[in-house]
């Protein structure tokens, strides 16, 4: 059966070795068939693959009797986290519009599907087709970076055990580290997840050490969409990555009211709040040329002084930056670091 994982087995995963510079090796399961996190389900007498704490309580994930786990990945970048752990989901919610050709994930991750072809669920106003999901007969639904909607959770849970974000996490703001660990725990591969997180954290720490000039520089990550603009707040992985490199949130942005807990809308008359010491700007629904031609952005001192990094919304760096997965972050770093260093040097 395609797109399934079997327990126990040894799995080797080469996660974008050339582009990402990482060798992600998944461990073999224990000889007795007990993977990480496996427990006995005392109430039902069956074996659990994992028991995961989420914002909606404890989720028990039974180990399939046939030894095959069918996974549907619905949360933002959940599929990439699963792929990094050696698991090929049968379906992927295509948050960033990568399309069927890329199998619903970034080009840095799509090759990890191998010959498998997942069902790519198109992002239509963030809606879910529950009948479609149910027809896939999943054993597990990953929704770890999502809207935290309880009604949605209840409906998904009626189909299969559903792993949502942890408690007190704003909508769509699950940190990539937490996401990787949650997915790894749900799959019974906690040690592998911890290894992946450590490798990427070390890469970020190395980048910060290589660029001490980033420390304390006020920065914003912002976008233009529709007739207005937006700025990332802590909790948005795009700004969080800058913070891990040493940048600080530009204070006028910090004072803006948030919309979703990780994002602040910026009206046209407020666009000056983006005028930080450094700005990373990208379009949503616009071309890069249209963003560069925006007169309000061009009026900002940060732009006039060449201290702004403009990203092509359809480009790989911008997509990796937005995907914010354990697989995409190293690629985003490689693309961003030279541009950030150049922008800071002009200050």
Is the backbone peptide bond immediately before 32 cis, with ω within 30 degrees of 0? no
Longest dimension (CA), the chain: 67
Contacts with 32 (C-beta within 8 Å, 6 or more apart), sequence order = none
- Count Cβ atoms within 10 A of the Cβ of residue 43 and give its class: 0-12 exposed, 13-18 middle, 19 or more buried: exposed
Distance CA 23, CA 16 (A): 8
Task: Tell me which fold the domain 211-345 belongs to.
Answer: Rossmann fold (3.40.50)
For residues 223, 147, 56, 109, the Cα torsion angle rounded to the nearest 10 degrees is: -70
Pairing label, strands 278-283, 218-225: parallel
Distance CA 294, CA 71 (A): 43
Check whether 32 has a pLDDT greater than 60. no
Contacts with 206 (C-beta within 8 Å, 6 or more apart), sequence order = none
By the 8 A CB rule, do 121 and 92 touch?
Answer: yes
Q: At what angle do helices 316-323 and 237-244 cross, to 10 degrees?
A: 90
In the structure, what pLDDT confidence band is assigned to residue 260 with cuts at 50, 70 and 90?
Answer: low
Same fold, 5-189 and 211-345: yes
CA distances 262 to 160, 204, 222, 239, 259, Å, are 29, 21, 12, 9, 7
Instruction: Report the residue count for the chain.
Output: 347
- If we measure between CA atoms, which residue out of 235, 238, 241 comes closest to residue 261? 235
- What pLDDT, in 10s, does the model give residues 123-180? 999 999 999 999 999 999 999 999 999 999 999 999 999 999 999 998 999 999 999 9
Domain range summary for the chain, segments of one domain joined by + = 5-189, 211-345
- What pLDDT, in 10s, does the model give residues 215-257? 999 999 999 988 889 999 998 999 999 999 999 999 999 999 8
In the structure, what pLDDT confidence band is assigned to residue 184 with cuts at 50, 70 and 90?
Answer: very high
pLDDT of residue 226: 85
pLDDT of residue 322: 95
Rounded mean pLDDT, 17-27: 32
Does the domain at 5-189 match CATH 3.30.360.10? Answer given as no
In the structure, what pLDDT confidence band is assigned to residue 38 with cuts at 50, 70 and 90?
Answer: very low
């Amino acid at each position: 059966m395609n797109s399934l994982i079997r327990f126990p087995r040894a799995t080797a995963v080469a996660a974008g070795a050339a582009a990402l510079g990482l060798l992600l090796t998944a461990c073999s399961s224990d000889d007795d068939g007990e993977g990480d996190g496996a427990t006995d389900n005392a109430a039902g007498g069956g074996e659990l693959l994992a028991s995961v704490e989420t914002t909606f309580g404890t989720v028990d994930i039974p180990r399939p009797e046939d030894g095959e786990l069918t996974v549907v990945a619905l949360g933002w970048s959940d599929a990439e986290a699963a792929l990094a752990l050696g698991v090929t989901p049968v379906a992927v919610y295509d948050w960033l519009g990568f399309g069927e050709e890329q199998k619903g994930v970034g080009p840095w991750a799509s090759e990890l599907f191998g010959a498998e072809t997942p069902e790519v669920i198109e992002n239509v106003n963030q809606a879910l087709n529950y009948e479609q999901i149910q027809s896939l007969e999943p054993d597990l639904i990953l929704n770890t970076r999502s809207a935290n909607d309880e009604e949605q959770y209840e409906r998904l849970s009626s189909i299969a055990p559903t792993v949502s974000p942890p408690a007190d996490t704003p909508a769509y703001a699950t940190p990539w580290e937490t996401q990787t660990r949650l997915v790894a725990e749900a799959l019974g591969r906690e040690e592998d997840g911890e290894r992946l997180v450590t490798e990427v954290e070390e890469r970020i720490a190395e980048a910060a050490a290589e660029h001490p000039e980033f420390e304390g520089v006020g920065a914003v990550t912002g976008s233009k969409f529709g007739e207005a603009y937006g700025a990332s707040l802590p909790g948005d992985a795009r700004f969080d990555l800058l913070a891990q490199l040493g940048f600080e949130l530009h204070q006028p942005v910090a004072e803006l009211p948030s919309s979703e807990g990780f994002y602040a809308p910026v009206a046209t008359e407020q666009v000056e709040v983006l005028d930080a010491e450094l700005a990373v700007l990208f379009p949503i629904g616009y071309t890069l040329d249209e963003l560069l031609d925006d007169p309000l952005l061009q009026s900002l001192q940060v732009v006039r002084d060449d201290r702004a990094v403009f990203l092509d919304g359809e480009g790989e760096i911008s997509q990796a930056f937005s995907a914010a997965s354990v697989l995409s972050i190293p690629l985003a770093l490689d693309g961003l670091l030279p541009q950030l260093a150049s922008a800071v040097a002009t200050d």
